[in-house]
């Protein structure tokens, strides 16, 4: 080894330690950057040049050090665990939110809910039965009946509004998925180009990893890394992103909740997610899967369709039981119009909750008595007031629905809490591996700084040796 090779060795150390300091500085600069993964400069010794020959016995040192690469300190398994946990947590959270919102529209228990409106309606019949000769009691009955109809109609429309908004949100989520998938495909192309040219694409990989986690929360996506540095994003067993190309998805199906209630199965057009070519795309995680479960027909477990069906059932039962009793009673109207007719009307062309109305506008047309018992008999009104306690009454149907909704909402909330805890645990494990530790980076900076100073001192020593060799030896005549 020549004397001048020492200069090269010291210079290689200066260069390597400076690059390592740059990496530590990059880590510290991005200590609070969301999604940033810490990096490490990988160093390796440069071996000595050897010229083998028969009589060679020279022992020489190596030729210094070099940075062979900048490693991104991620963990594939922890990333995959976080994406799986994010997918499940997003699904459970979406379901819990849908049920909680539906529960808020029911307003039970409370003094303004449908249960209270039913109680007031039956009490008004009792009032007519107690004072059948009082026109005010009959007017109160008609007013309470109209209030009950309004309560049922408003409850159904609240469910319908939630369904429509959820349908719109599902379409928006599909658009977000397509946009994010396109961004991942573009990053794949950039990363591949950088890696082919021998550069570092760590920051681009950080951004791509964030987007893939976002896709996991949206549609339950998973990722597979390829040898060229790109990621394939998989949804439902098929590639959403492969290399630099992305496949679009779409939300199709009915735009009205009525398609999921009351029609035969052949007439249903449930909301679903498909690929751009119309092929069905099954989802088992993510917010979009939660929306699809919420929008499903009642026969498939859709919570909103079942809630609308409950409102329809209550409206139908009120119509049937009251009209069946009222039709055989007597009114205050003169014969032959003294026979009670329909108290409630029902529009067959509309859902029962929207088609229900009070058929009577004249208080004298309210049938309160039994035929032959006198004009001011109130026995029939009294019997109608007792319908609330009969098996299969509207009150029983409503209580059953409210209890079932409360149980579902509580259970969904518990599952969402557990899933979120699991997701948070996975995120903490991933951050413990990938996030920047300021103390660790400070120690690394000190080590690189000392190594840099040492290499500079070696360079100075060799320079002094060469000065003596060149300028102070071999002078003849001194």
* Tens-digit pLDDT profile for residues 307-354: 999 999 999 999 999 998 888 787 776 676 667 788 899 988 888 899
Query: Is residue 464 located within the same domain as residue 400?
Result: no
Which has more confidence, 332 or 246?
246
241: which strand partners? 233, 246
Structural element, H or E, at residue 364 = none
Residue 210 has a pLDDT of: 94
Does pLDDT of 57 surpass 70? Answer: no
Q: Give the residue carrying structure tokens 């809490």.
A: 417
Name the region of 189 (left: φ>0; alpha: ψ -120 to 50; beta: rest).
Answer: alpha
CA atoms within 13 A on the CB side of 39: 27
Burial 435-457 (b: 16+ CB within 10 A, else e): bbeeeebeebbeebeebbeebee
Region 455-471 average pLDDT? 86
Query: Is residue 257 located within the same domain as residue 224?
Result: yes
Q: Supply the Cα-derived Rg of the chain in whole angstroms.
A: 39
Query: Is residue 14 located within the same domain as residue 107?
Result: no
Query: Is residue 220 located within the same domain as residue 278?
Result: yes
Query: Is residue 41 located within the same domain as residue 167?
Result: no
Q: Give the residue carrying structure tokens 């088609």.
A: 355
Query: Is residue 197 located within the same domain as residue 232?
Result: yes
Closest CA to 311 of 342, 350, 343, 349: 350
Pairing of strands 344-346, 238-242: unpaired
Pairing of strands 272-275, 231-235: unpaired
Q: How far is CA 142 from CA 121, 131, 364, 365, in A?
A: 9, 15, 11, 11
Residues whose CB is less than 8 angstroms from the CB of residue 123 and which lie 6 or more positions away in sequence, other chains included: 144, 385
Structural domain includes residue 322: no
232: which strand partners? 224
Closest CA to 442 of 28, 160, 6, 18: 28
Share of the chain above pLDDT 90, in %: 56
Q: What CA–CA distance (Å, rounded) separates 418 from 420?
A: 5
Does pLDDT of 266 surpass 50? Answer: no
Q: How far is CA 163 from CA 158, 281, 292, 293, 305, in A?
A: 9, 21, 11, 11, 8
Q: What CA–CA distance (Å, rounded) separates 181 from 175?
A: 10
For 67-96, how does the pLDDT look when each residue is reduced to its tens digit (9 = 90+)?
Answer: 999 999 988 899 999 999 999 999 999 999
3-class SS string, 422-463: HHHHHHHHHHHHHCCCHHHHHHHHHHHHHHHHHHHHHHHHHH
Does pLDDT of 366 surpass 70? Answer: yes
Structural domain includes residue 37: yes
Query: Is residue 153 located within the same domain as residue 45?
Result: no
Residue 267 has a pLDDT of: 47
Structural domain for 153, as ranges:
79-129+131-306+395-429
Q: Give the residue carrying structure tokens 């989520």.
A: 173
pTM of the model: 0.86
Residues whose CB is less than 8 angstroms from the CB of residue 346 and which lie 6 or more positions away in sequence, other chains included: 315, 316, 319, 352, 355, 356, 357
69: which strand partners? 42
Query: Is residue 155 located within the same domain as residue 301?
Result: yes
Structural domain includes residue 270: yes
Q: Give the residue carrying structure tokens 């209270």.
A: 116
Structural domain includes residue 312: no
Query: Which band of pLDDT confidence, cut at 50, 70 and 90, is reported for residue 241?
Result: very high
Region 95-106 average pLDDT? 92
Query: Is residue 269 located within the same domain as residue 158?
Result: yes
Structural domain includes residue 190: yes
Neighbour count for residue 91 (Cβ, 10 Å): 26
Closest CA to 156 of 371, 438, 401: 401
Residues whose CB is less than 8 angstroms from the CB of residue 80 and which lie 6 or more positions away in sequence, other chains included: 222, 223
For 292-311, how does the pLDDT look when each residue is reduced to its tens digit (9 = 90+)?
Answer: 999 988 878 889 999 999 99
Structural domain includes residue 365: no
Closest CA to 261 of 382, 161, 352: 352
Region 162-185 average pLDDT? 95
Neighbour count for residue 218 (Cβ, 10 Å): 24
Which has more confidence, 106 or 95?
95
Closest CA to 249 of 286, 285, 219: 219
Q: Under a CB-based contact definition with an 8 Å cutoff, are residues 448 and 28 in contact?
A: no
For 38-49, how does the pLDDT look when each residue is reduced to its tens digit (9 = 90+)?
Answer: 999 999 988 876
Domain count, the chain: 2
Query: Is residue 452 located within the same domain as residue 423?
Result: no
Structural domain includes residue 178: yes
Query: Is residue 116 located within the same domain as residue 231?
Result: yes
Q: Under a CB-based contact definition with an 8 Å cutoff, are residues 269 and 275 in contact?
A: no
Residue 371 has a pLDDT of: 73
CA atoms within 13 A on the CB side of 150: 9
Region 26-41 average pLDDT? 92
Treating both helix axes as pointing N-terminal to C-terminal, what angle do 135-196 and 114-130 enclose, rounded to 10 degrees? 170
Q: Under a CB-based contact definition with an 8 Å cutoff, are residues 90 and 173 in contact?
A: no
Q: What CA–CA distance (Å, rounded) separates 405 from 172?
A: 27
Q: What CA–CA distance (Å, rounded) separates 122 from 389?
A: 10
Neighbour count for residue 16 (Cβ, 10 Å): 23
Query: Is residue 148 located within the same domain as residue 255?
Result: yes
User: Out of 157-161, 248-252, 340-344, 452-456, which region has the weakest mean confidence (pLDDT)?
Assistant: 340-344
Structural domain includes residue 18: yes
């Amino acid at each position: 080894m020549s004397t001048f090779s020492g200069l090269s060795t010291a210079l290689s150390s200066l260069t390597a330690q400076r690059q390592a300091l740059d990496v530590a500085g990059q880590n510290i600069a991005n200590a609070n950057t969301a999604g940033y993964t810490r990096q490490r400069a990988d160093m390796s010794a440069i071996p000595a040049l050897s010229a083998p020959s028969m009589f060679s016995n020279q022992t020489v040192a190596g030729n210094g050090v070099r940075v062979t690469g900048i490693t991104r300190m991620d963990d594939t398994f922890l990333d995959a665990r976080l994406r799986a946990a994010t997918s499940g947590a997003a699904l459970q959270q979406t379901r819990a939110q849908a049920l909680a919102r539906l529960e808020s529209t029911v307003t039970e228990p409370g003094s303004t809910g449908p249960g209270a409106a039913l109680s007031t309606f039956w009490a008004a019949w009792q009032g007519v039965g107690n004072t059948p000769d009082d026109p005010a009691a009959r007017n109160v009955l008609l007013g309470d009946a109209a209030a009950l109809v309004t309560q049922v109609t408003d409850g159904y429309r609240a469910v319908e509004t939630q369904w429509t908004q959820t349908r719109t949100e599902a379409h928006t989520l599909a658009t977000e998925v397509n946009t994010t998938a396109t961004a991942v495909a573009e990053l794949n192309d950039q990363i591949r180009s950088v890696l082919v040219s021998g550069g570092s694409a760590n920051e681009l990989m950080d951004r791509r990893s964030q987007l893939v986690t976002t896709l996991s929360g949206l549609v339950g996506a998973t990722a597979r890394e390829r040898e060229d540095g790109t990621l394939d994003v998989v949804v439902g067993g098929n590639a959403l992103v492969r290399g630099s190309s992305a496949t679009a998805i779409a939300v199709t199906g009915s735009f009205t909740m009525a398609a999921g209630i009351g029609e035969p199965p052949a007439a249903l057009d449930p909301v679903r997610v498909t690929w751009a070519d119309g092929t069905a795309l099954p989802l088992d995680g993510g917010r979009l899967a939660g929306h699809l479960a919420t929008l499903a027909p009642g026969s498939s477990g859709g919570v909103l369709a079942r809630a609308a069906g409950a409102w329809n059932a209550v409206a139908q039962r009120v119509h049937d039981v009251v009209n069946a009793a009222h039709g055989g009673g007597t009114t205050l109207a003169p014969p032959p119009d003294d026979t009670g007719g329909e108290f409630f009307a029902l529009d067959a062309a509309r859902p029962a909750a929207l088609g229900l109305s009070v058929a009577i506008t004249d208080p004298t047309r309210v049938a309160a008595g039994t035929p032959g018992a006198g004009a001011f008999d109130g026995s029939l009104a009294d019997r109608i007031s007792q319908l609330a306690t009969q098996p299969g009454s509207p009150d029983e149907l409503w209580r059953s629905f409210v209890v079932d909704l409360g149980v579902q909402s509580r259970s969904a909330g518990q599952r969402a809490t557990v899933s979120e805890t699991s997701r948070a645990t996975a995120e903490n494990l991933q951050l413990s591996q990938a996030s920047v530790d300021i103390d660790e980076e400070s120690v690394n900076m000190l080590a690189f700084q000392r190594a840099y100073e040492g290499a500079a001192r070696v360079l100075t020593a060799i320079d002094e040796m060469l000065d003596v060799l060149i300028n102070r030896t071999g002078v003849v005549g001194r």
